[in-house]
Chains A and B, each alone.
Chain A
Amino acid sequence: METEGSNIVVSRRKLMLEDWKHTLYLWRQNKLAMIGTVIIVFFIAIAVFAPLIAPYDPVKVDLSQALLSPSFEHIFGTDQFGRDIFSRVIYGARIEVGIILLVTVISGAIGIAVGITAGYFGGVIDEILMRITDIFLAFPNLILAMALSAMLGRGVFNAIIAISLVGWTVIARLSRAEAMKIKSLPYIEAIRALGAGNLRILLLHILPMCMSPVLVQLSLRMGSIILTAAGLGFLGLGAQPPTPEWGAIVSDGRSYLVDQWWISTFPGLFIALVVLGFNLLGDGIRDIMDPRIRR
């Protein structure tokens, strides 16, 4: 038995390797996805190692250093409080990562739960859940997010919860369509024939199949989430000072745009870069996951 056991491990590893090799191959073929991955990895690395990378305290006010243009000491310059923009941007990456995680978890969870339940059961349940989804879809998103963030209290994370409470609709529709497609496939019927209950089918068999399109969708939405958060900041509803949230930095620096361009421009570029990264990656994953290409 023991040797068999190890055999199993070997073959299993080999198989995962195969799968990975395929994915890796497709990924390497897809240059943009590669660039996207590099950007995102870079971004996450920044967030993780922020204290090591950032040369200064991101929130420390030092008025004697205010509004310095980019130089060797402050490569992105400083803002009106003498805070090092580079350090703020680096620490800001942590906030953005937090935003992304929260939204993914919340809107992903709600969206999938609603979507697959509606898609799998169909009928009245579907009708009710989809009408609820319609309500949230028809609701002006920014307004709902604003209202919710006013309701929940201030702060980036509350704003993000608000955004996710709004953003699940897309995921719900997507996973509903996916669940509907999958539930009529023969293998689900075969599992039902084995005597599996609805819950088992839903959680063990349909849910995993809905994950990858949902993940693609989520990765594509990351960008718009960061931007919505930044937009809330522009309207004064986002991050609380002195949180170095990128959108807030851009929007605070806008009155300096003509002369102290660096305050807005660097965080702006970072937002654009990361959003671009997520979009490229999302597009890439979609291509890679595409069964017609994968086969």
Chain B
Amino acid sequence: MEALIKVENLKKYFEIKKSMLSKPLQVKAINGISLEIPKGVIFAVVGESGSGKSTLGRVILKLIDPTSGKVFFDGQDITSLKSKDMIKYRKQMQIVQQDPYNSLHPRKLIKDIVGEGLKIHYKLSAEEIYLRIKEILECVGLREEHMFRYPHEFSGGQRQRIAIARALVLRPKFLVLDEPTSALDVSVQARTLALLCELKENFDLTYLFITHNLAVVDYMASHVAVMYLGKIMEIGSKDDIFSRPKHPYTVSLLEAIPSVGKGKRVRMIPRGEIPSPVNLPKGCLFHTRCVQAKDICAKKDPQEVEISPGHMCRCHLYS
């Protein structure tokens, strides 16, 4: 399979200042990530809060510039492109964000929100724009009359549909879905996920699906990367990750999910808290919480090990 997106040793460090009084700190949001996303798949990235999932998505879309590393889109290195040259690629890759309440401009009509991309990229007549918006809204299950409303008149699920419509109106090839359903109720989430699956087929899309919900990954994805503190701990096909999880972190993530209707059970839950990305642990990033940690884990950063073709794991247990 041909890779639509290729990421090489990508790093993104943020400088943050908590307050006027504090000294700037370096947040290693993503810290050396390489992956390939084949055309036409749903590639899921899971991990806990702060692990750098969104940052990865944003760097891939070049919404922020990486500290180092490269991103290839369709074979073209886009990291070094000027914003003028980038315009061309903008049409081909889009994003749907997590928070449906803040992802739509509150003072604009839906038609302006969805039509914005068309206005930027094409010189179209008002009528043509109107028709295109109408068409795309119908694709995501909204009606023409919704065009003349403001975002606050919609429920969370509908807002998410509007966001999807905004992303799709330019007919992109690649979509970053940054936790598109985590703010929604399960009943709405189910329908949104179904819509996304349908659209993928209709529009011939490739998804980078960011989520913290493993159950959703299982439902949607074909490829999964498990991130922890800016690094990929385990990457592989869905089956590799769900049926043959190798990394203790992957295992504990799977364990931690409460399961419906099975009652209480004893589980392997990682101890302690997630370390701050400002102050990363030495050695293996996970060793502070790992129940299977050995001496070496605290000293040496494990290398990536290929367990089976396409299934990699970063853990001393397998090296």
Contact = CB atoms under 8 A, between A and B. Distances in A.
Q: Do A and B touch each other in the complex, judged by CB within 8 A?
A: yes
Interface of A: 4, 7-8, 11-12, 15, 18-19, 185-187, 189-197, 200, 205, 208-209
Given A194-B90, A194-B117, A194-B120, A187 B148 contact: no
A15 B107 contact: no
A2 to B, nearest CB: 13
26 contacts: A7-B145, A8-B145, A8-B147, A11-B145, A12-B148, A19-B150, A185-B102, A186-B97, A186-B99, A187-B106, A189-B63, A189-B97, A190-B97, A191-B116, A193-B90, A193-B93, A193-B95, A194-B90, A194-B116, A194-B121, A194-B166, A195-B86, A195-B117, A196-B116, A205-B105, A209-B106
Contacts of A19: 150
Which residue, of A11, A12, A192, A193, has the highest number of chain B Cβ atoms within 10 A?
A: A193
A4 B95 CA distance: 31
B148 A194 contact: no
Interface in B122-150: 144-145, 147-150
Nearest to B87: A195
A11 B149 contact: yes
Contacts of B58: 189
B163 interface: yes
B104 A187 contact: yes
Given A15-B149, A195-B91, A186 B63 contact: no
| B-side interface size class | 35 or more
Given A186-B99, A190-B163, A209-B106, 12 more contacts: A8-B145, A11-B145, A15-B149, A186-B102, A190-B95, A190-B103, A191-B105, A194-B120, A194-B121, A195-B90, A195-B121, A196-B116
B105 A187 contact: yes
Contacts of A194: 90, 94, 116-117, 120-121, 166, 170
A192 B120 CA distance: 10
A197 B83 contact: yes
Contacts of A12: 148
Cβ-closest 7 pairs across A and B = A195-B90, A194-B117, A186-B103, A186-B97, A12-B148, A187-B105, A193-B95
A21 to B, nearest CB: 13
Contacts of A11: 145, 148-149
Nearest to A209: B107
A234 B13 CA distance: 58
B142 to A, nearest CB: 14
Nearest to B62: A193
Nearest to A8: B148
Which residue, of A11, A18, A187, A208, has the highest number of chain B Cβ atoms within 10 A?
A: A187
Contacts of A205: 105
Contacts of A192: 63
A200 B63 contact: no
Interface in B146-178: 147-150, 153, 163, 166-167, 170
A241 B145 CA distance: 60
A11 B153 CA distance: 13
A194 to B, nearest CB: 4
B229 interface: no
A200 B117 CA distance: 12
A163 B163 CA distance: 45
Nearest to B91: A195
A193 B94 contact: yes
Contacts of B116: 191, 194, 196
A192 to B, nearest CB: 6
A187 B102 contact: yes
A208 B98 CA distance: 24
